[in-house]
Amino acid sequence: MGDSDDAWCALAHRVEQFDADAGRAVHAALRARDRPLTVQIVGRAGGGGGGLAVAESSAEYAVEHVEMDVPGRSDPVVDGDVVVHVTAVRCPPHAIHPADRAVINRVEAGRMLVVLTGTERLDDPDAAVTAVAGELRVPVLHFSDTDALATAVAARLHHARRRRDEELARTVAGIAANPPARDAIENALDSLTLQGAR
C-alpha cells in the first residue's frame, strides 16, 4: 500500500468521526476503486481468442474470456477495464467482420486493443495491421506478437488505475457531508491532488 492509499484510508476514518454517512460513502468509494481490474479477451465464437497468450489473473487484475455472436445466446456485456478483441483478417485483406467492428466501436478507445489472426497467410502482414489500426483508430497487434501484447496490456492497466484514482477523487469530492467532514475532505483532496501531480 502506497502513501496515497494510506492517506485515502486515513481520510475515510477521519470523515467517519465527523459524519458517519459521509464516512461510509468514502469507504464505499475506496472499495470501488480497489476492486480488481478486469482484462476481457473478446472474440466471436471459434475466432481463436481462447488461445491468446495473455498473462493470467493476478492479485491486481482478473482475465475473463468472452465469446460474442454465439447462436441462440445474447452477447455478454463488454465492460472490462482493458478489452482485447481478437478478430480475423477477412478477404479482401485489411477488412474485419462487421460484428467485430460493432463491438470495437462500443468500447472506449483507451480501453481497447485489437489482435488480428490470419495475418501469417498474407503477403504483407504488417500492412494489414497498419491498415486495420488506421481504420479503427485503436492499437492493432499480430496474434503471435506476445511481447507487444503484454506491453500494451500493461500500459492499458496503468491507465485504468489512473482512471480509477480520478473517479475516486470525483466521487469523494461530491459526497454530501457536514461542515467539519467537508473541510476534512477538501483539505485531503488538495493534498492528494498535489501528491498525484508529482
CA–CA separation, 45 vs 70, rounded Å?
6
Q: Which of 18, 16, 37, 36 is nearest to 27 (CA)?
A: 16
Any idea what DSSP says for residue 110?
Answer: G
Q: Is 61 in the same domain as 132?
A: yes
Same domain flag for 65 and 153: yes
Q: Do residues 50 and 146 both lie within one domain?
A: yes
Cβ pair 26, 196 in contact under 8 A: no
Residue 1 has a pLDDT of: 46
Same structural domain for residues 176 and 141? no
Neighbour tally for 71: CB within 10 Å: 5
Tell me: do 187 and 154 sit in the same domain: no
Per-residue pLDDT, 197: 47
Q: Are residues 61 and 21 in the same domain?
A: no
What is d(CA 155, CA 133) in angstroms, rounded to the nearest whole number? 17
Give pLDDT, residue 93.
63
Is residue 18 located within the same domain as residue 52?
no
> Could you tell me if 57 and 113 lie in one domain?
yes
Residues 72 and 118 in one domain: yes
Same domain (yes/no): 126, 169: no
Q: Give the SS3 label for residue 53.
A: coil
Rg (CA), the chain: 21
Q: What is the pLDDT of residue 34?
A: 93
Q: Is 60 helix (H, G, I), strand (E, B) or coil?
A: coil
Domain containing residue 180: 3-34+160-197
- Based on the fold, state whether residues 48 and 105 are members of the same structural domain: yes
Number of domains in the chain: 2
- In the sheet with 37-44, reading across from the earlier edge strand, the strands are 61-68, 37-44, 82-88, 112-117, 140-142
Residues 47 and 144 occupy one common structural domain: yes
Mean pLDDT by 10 residues, the chain (198 residues): 77 96 96 94 74 66 86 88 91 78 91 90 87 90 89 93 94 96 93 60
The predicted structure's pLDDT at residue 195: 58
Q: What is the pLDDT of residue 72?
A: 86
- Alpha carbon distance 165, 173 (integer Å): 12
At 164 the pLDDT is: 94
| CATH code for the domain of 72 | 3.40.50.300
